[in-house]
Structures are given as C-alpha cells and as structure tokens.
C-alpha cells in the first residue's frame, strides 16, 4: 500500500512538473528547445533546466589547418558571418575534424590543443575546435542543458559549410569529451541524408544522461559510426562522471572502464607532473580524462590499441575468456569507421598506467605447483619476455598483490611494450616476485624465506600464438630472477 501511494505521488509530482514548469525558448536558425519530456525525468533528471541563450553561451569555432597549424593563431568560423568563411583556410577537399570540450573547460585547454597538433601530424585535415566555455561554467544541470544549443550551433556550422562549399556531412568526424560527447550527438541527430560520418564519444557524461531517452543522449542514430571510450563509469555517488551504459556501435571499456591504472597519485604529484591547472584537473577527474589520453595517443601511435569483444565483466577479460583475434577491434583513432553492424558491442583492453598507454596484450596462464614444501602466498609477480629479436620491460602481472594458492591455475591479461613481431617469437621469460609482508601478522622472513612453486607458464599473444615456458621445480624466493625457457613439447617431470 505504501509503495503504491509513493508511486502515485511520484507520478502526480511528475505530471505537475511537466504541466507547470515546462517551458520553451526559440532562436533564429537553430529552432526551439523545451524542458519537458523526454528532457525531464523524475529519477534521472528531476530538475530540467532550459538552456541559456545563444548569446549567453557564446559558441565559437576555431579552425586550424596545416597552413595555420598554431593553436594560438586559429581562424574563426562564425555562423553569424558565414561569408567570412572564404577568408579562412578551410578546404572543402579535406576531411574535417570537430573537437568539443565538456564541463568547466574551454577550447584552450591543453588536451584540445594537443589533439589539434596530433591530427595535423596524422593528415591534412580541417580541424575545428568548439569553444562554449561560458555555457560550460556554473551549475552542472544548466551546462548539461546548454549542450543542446551547442550541438545545434555545430549542426548549423555544418549546414553553412555545406551550402558555401558543397561539402557533405559525411566528411565530418566529431570528437567530444564528457558533455561534449552529447554535444556531438545533438549535432549529429540534425544531420541526415547523409549523416555525419563518425562521432567519437570520450567518456560521455553520465549525470543527467544515464538511462535517459536516446533523444537526450549520444546514441547510434547520430552518425554512421559511433565509437565510445568509457573510462569512469562508477555511479556519481562514487564520483564517477561517465556513462555506464553502452551508447555506440562499438563501446570500449579499457581496464574495465571504471578505475584506470596510474590514477592513484596525490594532488602534489599531479601538480608536479602537469602543472597547477591540469594537475588539479587530473587529481579530481583522472579516470574521466584518461579517455582523452587514450584517443589522443592512438592518432599517431604504431601500437594498435587492440581490444577484444567481451562481456562487461573485467574478470572475464583478465582470465582470457575474450582473447579471440577474430573478435578484435582497435580502440581510438583506428577504430573501424566502416563498421555497419549492430549497436552495444562491448570491447575490453588493458593499458599501461602512464604514457605510452598502449601495450600489446599477452595472456599468462600459471599453475601453482602442489609441492611438499609449497605454501599459499600473497604477492606480486613480474615477468620479462625474452624474444629472439627483442626483450620486453619487466611488467607486473597485477596492479596489486594477489593471493596464490597451491594447485590453482591463475590467468592474467597484461599489456607489454613489445609486439609478437618485435620479439621475433618468444624464446623464454624471466620470472620474479615480491611477497606481501602483511600476509602474516608476524615477519615471515624471521621464520623462513617464503617461496613460490611454479614450473610452467603458458604465454598467449594477441595473434593466438601459444608458448609453453618451463622452469624447474625448486621454490622461487622473493627478489630472485628465475629463467623459464620455451619448449615445443611438455615441461619435464620432476
């Protein structure tokens, strides 16, 4: 009875909100905007603001090309004075990249300028930055509403470029971070026959967009190809700023899409690395911003950011259940823009915690030996790959210590700095481990030196090549490097 009454009151409140508070504003060239359904939702958007005016938001467009590469000397493309387009270096024969920021930022934020540079190294493009700083400051809910105006402004710019130069919407690729991803969606939904070629959503904002109607958020109908990188999908009460739900044709969830390796530094460490402004932003929103870093690096990287179609469970990926080269796709710039399949395809990949973020994926399968001297242990394993042509860096198989129990098989998916082609094939590996001193409440080493017993390790690379590595049956003490060598048959018995 109480639940029924509560539901009835909620419906009544929603009806009153829609009938009493719903309003509409209209602007020349971009149309009308209201704050009623579907932009109002009693659970996911209980307060639905109207967007601010075009003048208050002050959207501007800043063009860079290889003729004008410096981001400090951009050329303005004004939708109010489109005849001035002819005074710029916009070239209708080039593809056009449109980049837009999110909440609290502007077009002069370092990542946008760096992305312009990366694009102009990669190819001869028109690169346009969208600046809507005035509309991105203040109350978050208002900024979320303002994305509708900014998206309409981007669409208007595309319309004017089409009418002045004869270019098609299919020559445009829009890249948006956070609220900017939904700006891209609003711009794309206004372009039809043809659609915008591609939209890349970089951790689309979750609050006020999660679980909303597709009209309200980025979705697959907004472009021929929508690819999305999710890096901060925890709910907002855990300070997650990104969307949890897939919203593209291909949705990539690096490192599980929640907590990114390397995002655990102190404020002072971030400021020391990135300066006061960028360092503070990294401290507050490192996971959220990491999607930008992945995409930016992918533009000119030789490393493919190869991801694998998988479930949403990151453990499934780490245990090798999704390691199938036939179901792989590149994350970032090299995502397959000609893909025309269904929506909501989830891909996973593990990355490094610092630049370069991209690594070549290897799956390690280890079985702890059931030896008469073996004990359960907790620690962290490090492996260096040895190839015929190259050797990798030493890499931890896990970001934290893990409990290892005798006779149990463990699998770890790990990114490395060498590809199967770099190594020329694996000939062996170096194994090392450190134990967790908190595993025992007394000092373990006072009693005895802890040992891990493991004599064979299977290594599978991203091309499906499997290498069996053999060590010996002796226990391996912490800090001691143990060599394992490849065999074409089976490891010898004890």
Per-residue pLDDT tens over the stretch 352-391:
999 999 999 999 999 999 877 778 889 999 999 999 999 9
Q: What is the dihedral of CA 113, 117, 122, 127, to 10 degrees?
A: 50
* CATH class of the region 9-349: alpha beta
Residue-level pLDDT at 268: 66
Residues in the chain: 494
Please list the alpha-helical segments (H only) found in 26-126: 54-57, 110-122
**Quick one: DSSP state of residue 293?**
H
**What distance in Å separates the CA atoms of residue 359 and residue 357, rounded to the nearest whole number?**
6
Residue-level pLDDT at 10: 41
Q: How confident is the model at residue 11 (pLDDT cuts 50, 70, 90)?
A: very low
**Quick one: DSSP state of residue 355?**
S
Strands 250-254 and 402-404 turn out to be: unpaired
Residues 6 or more apart whose CB falls under 8 angstroms from that of 2 comprise: none
Helical (H) or strand (E) element with 351: none
Strands 60-64 and 75-76 turn out to be: antiparallel
Place of tokens 């493009």: 125
- Span 272-284, average pLDDT: 74
- Angle, CA 146 vertex, CA 143 and CA 152 arms, to 5°: 150
Residue-level pLDDT at 373: 78
Q: How confident is the model at residue 9 (pLDDT cuts 50, 70, 90)?
A: very low
Strands 96-100 and 126-131 turn out to be: parallel
Q: Is 461 annotated as a binding residue?
A: no
**What distance in Å separates the CA atoms of residue 204 and residue 178, rounded to the nearest whole number?**
4
210 pLDDT exceeds 90?
Answer: yes
Q: Is 273 annotated as a binding residue?
A: no
**Looking at 177, 288, 314, 455, which residue is catalytic?**
288
Nearest CA to 225 among 257, 188, 254, 253? Answer: 188
Q: How confident is the model at residue 249 (pLDDT cuts 50, 70, 90)?
A: very high
Residues 6 or more apart whose CB falls under 8 angstroms from that of 327 comprise: 308, 309
Residue-level pLDDT at 438: 82
**What distance in Å separates the CA atoms of residue 278 and residue 260, rounded to the nearest whole number?**
17
313 labelled catalytic: no
77 backbone dihedrals φ, ψ, rounded to 5°: -110, 105
17 pLDDT exceeds 60?
Answer: no
**What distance in Å separates the CA atoms of residue 85 and residue 370, rounded to the nearest whole number?**
74
Q: Is 66 annotated as a binding residue?
A: no
Residues 6 or more apart whose CB falls under 8 angstroms from that of 124 comprise: 65, 66, 94
**What distance in Å separates the CA atoms of residue 244 and residue 267, rounded to the nearest whole number?**
26
- Structural domain boundaries of the chain? 9-349, 360-487
* Token pair belonging to 213: 């109607």
Average pLDDT, whole number, for the chain? 92
pLDDT tens digits, residue range 39-71?
999 999 999 999 999 999 999 999 999 999 999
**What distance in Å separates the CA atoms of residue 456 and residue 486, rounded to the nearest whole number?**
10
Strands 345-349 and 402-404 turn out to be: unpaired
* Token pair belonging to 57: 């938001």
Helical (H) or strand (E) element with 446: helix 444-447
**Quick one: DSSP state of residue 415?**
E
**What distance in Å separates the CA atoms of residue 218 and residue 409, rounded to the nearest whole number?**
42
**Predicted TM-score (pTM) of this structure:** 0.92
**What distance in Å separates the CA atoms of residue 152 and residue 185, rounded to the nearest whole number?**
10
Which CATH superfamily is 360-487 part of? Answer: PLAT/LH2 domain (2.60.60.20)
Nearest CA to 404 among 367, 440, 431, 438? Answer: 367
**What distance in Å separates the CA atoms of residue 47 and residue 165, rounded to the nearest whole number?**
42
164 labelled catalytic: no
Residue-level pLDDT at 5: 42
178 labelled catalytic: yes
Residue-level pLDDT at 357: 98
Collapsing DSSP states into helix, strand and coil, what is residue 26? strand
**Looking at 155, 171, 178, 298, which residue is catalytic?**
178
Q: How confident is the model at residue 441 (pLDDT cuts 50, 70, 90)?
A: low
**Looking at 155, 203, 249, 314, which residue is catalytic?**
203
**What distance in Å separates the CA atoms of residue 133 and residue 60, rounded to the nearest whole number?**
9
């Amino acid at each position: 009875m109480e639940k029924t009454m509560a539901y009835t009151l909620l419906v009544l409140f929603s009806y009153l909100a829609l009938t009493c508070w719903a309003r509409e504003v209209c602007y020349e060239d971009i149309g009308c905007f209201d704050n009623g359904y579907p932009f109002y939702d009693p659970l996911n958007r209980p307060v639905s603001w109207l967007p601010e005016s075009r003048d208050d938001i002050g959207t501007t467009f800043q063009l860079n090309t290889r003729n004008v590469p410096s981001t400090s000397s951009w050329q303005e493309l004004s939708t109010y004075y489109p005849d001035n387009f002819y005074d710029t270096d916009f070239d209708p024969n080039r593809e056009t990249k449109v980049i837009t920021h999110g909440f609290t930022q502007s077009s002069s934020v370092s990542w946008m300028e760096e992305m312009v540079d990366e694009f102009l190294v990669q190819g001869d493009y028109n690169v346009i930055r969208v600046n809507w700083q005035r509309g991105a400051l203040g109350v978050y809910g208002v900024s979320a509403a303002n994305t509708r105006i900014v998206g309409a402004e981007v669409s208007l710019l595309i319309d004017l470029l089409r009418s002045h130069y004869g270019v098609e919407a299919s020559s445009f690729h829009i890249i948006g971070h956070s609220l900017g991803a939904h700006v891209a969606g609003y711009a794309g939904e206004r372009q039809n026959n043809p659609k915008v070629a591609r939209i890349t959503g970089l951790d689309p904002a979750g609050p006020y967009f999660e679980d909303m109607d597709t009209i309200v958020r980025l979705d697959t109908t907004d472009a021929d190809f929508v690819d999305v990188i999710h890096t901060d999908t925890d709910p907002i009460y855990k300070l997650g700023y990104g969307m949890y739900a897939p919203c593209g044709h291909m949705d990539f969830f690096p490192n599980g899409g929640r907590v990114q390796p390397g995002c655990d530094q102190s404020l002072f460490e971030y400021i020391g690395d990135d300066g006061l402004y960028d360092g503070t932003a990294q401290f507050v929103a490192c996971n959220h911003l990491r999607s930008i870093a992945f995409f930016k690096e992918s533009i000119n990287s030789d490393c493919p950011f190869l991801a694998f179609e998988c479930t949403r469970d990151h453990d499934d990926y780490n245990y090798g259940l999704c390691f199938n080269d036939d179901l792989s796709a590149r994350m970032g710039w090299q995502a397959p823009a000609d893909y025309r399949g269904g929506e909501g395809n989830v891909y996973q990949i593990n990355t490094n915690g610092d630049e370069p973020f991209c690594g070549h994926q290897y799956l390690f399968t280890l079985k702890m030996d059931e030896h008469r001297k073996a004990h359960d242990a907790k620690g962290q394993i490090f492996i260096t790959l040895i190839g015929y042509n190259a050797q990798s860096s030493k890499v931890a198989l896990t970001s934290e210590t893990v409990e290892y129990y005798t006779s149990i098989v463990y699998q770890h998916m790990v990114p490395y700095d060498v590809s199967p082609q770099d190594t020329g094939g694996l000939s062996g590996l170096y194994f090392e481990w450190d134990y967790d001193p908190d595993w025992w409440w007394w000092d373990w080493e006072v009693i005895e030196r802890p040992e891990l017993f493991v004599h064979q390790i299977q290594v599978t690379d991203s091309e499906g090549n499997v290498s069996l590595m053999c060590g010996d049956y002796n226990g391996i003490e912490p800090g001691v490097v143990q060599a394992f060598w490849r065999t074409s048959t089976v490891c010898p018995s004890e």
